Structure 1
């Protein structure tokens, strides 16, 4: 009997060793990883953000909206935390308050915390693009938005601390797939517009190889649902999380971060004649993601991650090309709609203090996981050129680029798009209350900034 037990134990150990060698390629190293989630769906209806035509609060909840946290490290080695939120964007003031709260609690540095938004256009307004609406927000709506934003900070702090409390030795690996429903939306300006269909995935397992979480990245706007679906909804991102989790062991978590998808739309999307079809499209797009994740999980082509990420952060000054003319703003403000709201807001700021920014402080962040993976975080709505350039220069399989991270200042165009013009280059600045497009050195500044904080092994 003892002999049988020993033999069985040896077989189990051999099987586990084979799993480790298959997935990680060499003797794996465990990393302490914790996971947690918290619902952030507004408790009272508020105006959903992302579409200027919406003029009333949401009329129902189709999806629960979530904040999810993944924490690496321990008290001795320090913590690195990534939080995903089902929101259009994360304002810098929210990020900074969460950082300050966690710094006091656990001593985390700014470079080791990142908050990434899903960019769903069916989530609540929390202070991003307030001037984007055709109908201005009324006082009661502004109060609800303020209360929601104030309540978000303790929730994000709490979910980070819960992830730390749940941390346990884990195995971490990454792989890359491909999904094709993202399309370049600027083809009317440039018929040769490019897309990025890559789907990098990170997997967290326990020491028995059971999946605890996956985090995936896809470069695409979350705009499958149009404004006629006035319901809280995670869009294709929410559907992807739901369907990936349905395929994972019970209790496992799926997180989605968005790549450089500012000029990429989901296709199909926004059926104006039959808006209920938007929900069908989102489910199908979520299934495409879930099926590709399933395919990867069944494959052996995973690279092990053997070190905790080391974070670095830098702020860059990005300059606007010109300042607005008060007389022109006054004329525009006398009209109606989104442009009128923008002009009135800017004119009021100029009249009170001349407080129109000539530049913004733009955060960039890098997490170095070692020779096999470097993760780059960029704020705002970043166009696909940045990811494609970084992958070309640094290696397709080694670079993972997250946009909509830590702040939501505005669109971040490349030099090519600035020269082409159009929405992402210039007119989108109206919704963000920015004075004009950027100067043409914006891409060089960002790329040089990224290179200045990349690990030597990546350059």
Structure 2
């Protein structure tokens, strides 16, 4: 593709064939093929509209299949899972938005379980070099789907990987990153005028897994008994619409783990089914999903494909109902901010505590402990702080979108909705997979999300310090204030 050449989206859509379950399919590039021409990443002068003098919003859309073909294992559940076929493809989908003065943002959504800091940094640096995007303008999100592939440097001790499998993970990750950049390039070279609208629906299959026993949930639901614990059943919906015409893209969220399935088949879990269903209902519309603060939420009951498809249809129905109601318009003004906050560990590891674990009977912890021991013996000094990413996009005076790294529990979303005057949405799986992010309440209660489980994420510690919520909330407040000061 020649420099500054733009993509005609109508011709692009017409060139697609119908894929599994009706989702548009783009040919998957072979991992053995040469990298694409770097000129594909050129998009003209950063921040300037291409071929339009429209004074409102503009949107660009890109998408690509990222289903593995090289034998990489599925991510999640801490065991070897070799993929046998697929229910449907997994995707990277990108929307780029531009306001009336040319300020841009790019959101990348994927059907992956988690992105490491390594992958985030490589993708951001590539986007910065190619398109001039700053950190505040670029947000990488992942659905936390457990039927997607392992990625480089994410949960490195979690799986019993050998050298061959690690090579396949690296190979797939490199291939995937090229697909992501191609989708970003497509979005940034294909601007269309649009109206930007938002609304909220509800969907009720998410269950607080800390306060409800999975085995008891089906009977409780059958008897109409109330479930326990905090939940966030809101379904945020952001829609880009041709002025007076059809929908170009629909971004929607939900706070729940995509862990309906635990078998060895490629699939997008319930978010994948929801996107497929919406793209069937609205042909020519790109449907994109982000996971809200679902760190302590599970789809229950689960473990069946029929349930997974049911939850996807429930979620797409909730989105559809919002699209068919009167949504609120967003004024075309973007104000952005990004920051890091240092999260403290409760205590760092040491050799005395690591050596019994390294020779113990728990394989995951033994792998982690042996890796930590090698680092210590090589002279590495661990930091007692971890840089945690916080991001805020203010859209007009109407909507505030917050991005947080890691698996935030639902308390964060509920808190921030109360603290800020605009309608506020929180993406709890943004930029990279830090670990579980407990609130103070969850930290005090302990358990899987709040207790000493940072070893599973490769940290040189077992637990966050008890002030984690205060640190994050303070950083979010400062980051949001920056958008207010400049907006």
Which category of TM-score, normalised to the shorter sequence, fits these structures? Answer: 0.7 to 0.9
**Alpha-carbon distance in structure 2 between the residues aligned to 1:30 and 1:442:** 40
Q: 2:409 aligns with which of 341, 365, 383?
A: 383
1:21 paired residue number: none
Task: Confirm whether residue 235 of structure 1 aligns to residue 269 of structure 2.
Answer: yes
Task: Confirm whether residue 359 of structure 1 aligns to residue 376 of structure 2.
Answer: no
Task: Confirm whether residue 345 of structure 1 aligns to residue 352 of structure 2.
Answer: no
**Alpha-carbon distance in structure 1 between the residues aligned to 2:164 and 2:273:** 31
Contact persistence 2:55–2:100 (CA under 8 A):
no
Contact persistence 2:368–2:458 (CA under 8 A):
yes
Contact persistence 1:320–1:439 (CA under 8 A):
yes
Task: Confirm whether residue 263 of structure 1 aligns to residue 259 of structure 2.
Answer: no
Query: SS of 2:415's equivalent?
Result: helix
**Alpha-carbon distance in structure 1 between the residues aligned to 2:104 and 2:187:** 10
Contact persistence 1:84–1:117 (CA under 8 A):
yes
**Alpha-carbon distance in structure 2 between the residues aligned to 1:288 and 1:428:** 33
Query: SS of 1:255's equivalent?
Result: strand
1:193 paired residue number: 229
How far did residue 129 of structure 1 move? Answer: 1.0
CA deviation digits over 1:246-284, x for unaligned, max 9?
A: 111x221100000000001011112xxxxxxx2111100
**Alpha-carbon distance in structure 1 between the residues aligned to 2:121 and 2:128:** 10
**Alpha-carbon distance in structure 2 between the residues aligned to 1:355 and 1:152:** 33
1:254 paired residue number: 287
**Alpha-carbon distance in structure 1 between the residues aligned to 2:124 and 2:131:** 10
**Alpha-carbon distance in structure 2 between the residues aligned to 1:38 and 1:158:** 8
Contact persistence 2:147–2:266 (CA under 8 A):
yes
How far did residue 76 of structure 1 move? Answer: 7.0
1:441 paired residue number: 467
2:156 paired residue number: 130
How far did residue 80 of structure 1 move? Answer: 0.9
**Equivalence map 1:326-337=2 (5 Å):** 326-336=351-361, 337=363
How far did residue 36 of structure 1 move? Answer: 1.1
Q: 1:116 aligns with which of 141, 145, 149?
A: 141
How far did residue 349 of structure 1 move? Answer: 1.9
**Alpha-carbon distance in structure 1 between the residues aligned to 2:347 and 2:481:** 35
Task: Confirm whether residue 169 of structure 1 aligns to residue 205 of structure 2.
Answer: no
1:11 paired residue number: none
After superposition, the Cα gap between the structure-2 partners of 1:105 and 1:75, relative to the gap in structure 1 and judged at 3 Å, is: farther
Which segment drifts farther, 213-222 or 59-68?
59-68
Q: 1:55 aligns with which of 69, 80, 98?
A: 80
Task: Confirm whether residue 209 of structure 1 aligns to residue 250 of structure 2.
Answer: no
Task: Confirm whether residue 82 of structure 1 aligns to residue 107 of structure 2.
Answer: yes
Query: SS of 1:82's equivalent?
Result: strand
Contact persistence 2:61–2:96 (CA under 8 A):
yes
**Alpha-carbon distance in structure 2 between the residues aligned to 1:56 and 1:378:** 29
Extract unaligned runs of 5+ from structure 1. Answer: 1-27, 271-277
Contact persistence 1:368–1:455 (CA under 8 A):
no
**Alpha-carbon distance in structure 2 between the residues aligned to 1:102 and 1:256:** 21
Q: Give the TM-score normalised by structure 2.
A: 0.82
**Alpha-carbon distance in structure 2 between the residues aligned to 1:43 and 1:72:** 32
After superposition, the Cα gap between the structure-2 partners of 1:297 and 1:78, relative to the gap in structure 1 and judged at 3 Å, is: closer
Task: Confirm whether residue 295 of structure 1 aligns to residue 329 of structure 2.
Answer: no
Contact persistence 1:174–1:305 (CA under 8 A):
yes
How far did residue 455 of structure 1 move? Answer: 4.1
Task: Confirm whether residue 148 of structure 1 aligns to residue 172 of structure 2.
Answer: yes
Which segment drifts farther, 418-427 or 76-85?
76-85
**Alpha-carbon distance in structure 1 between the residues aligned to 2:439 and 2:140:** 23
Contact persistence 2:337–2:482 (CA under 8 A):
no
CA deviation digits over 1:39-84, x for unaligned, max 9?
A: 11112121111111x3242222222110000001289724210010
Task: Confirm whether residue 225 of structure 1 aligns to residue 261 of structure 2.
Answer: yes
Query: SS of 1:431's equivalent?
Result: helix
1:309 paired residue number: 334
Extract unaligned runs of 5+ from structure 2. Answer: 1-53, 214-226
**Alpha-carbon distance in structure 1 between the residues aligned to 2:381 and 2:170:** 22
Which segment drifts farther, 235-244 or 338-347?
338-347
**Alpha-carbon distance in structure 1 between the residues aligned to 2:156 and 2:68:** 17
After superposition, the Cα gap between the structure-2 partners of 1:188 and 1:339, relative to the gap in structure 1 and judged at 3 Å, is: farther
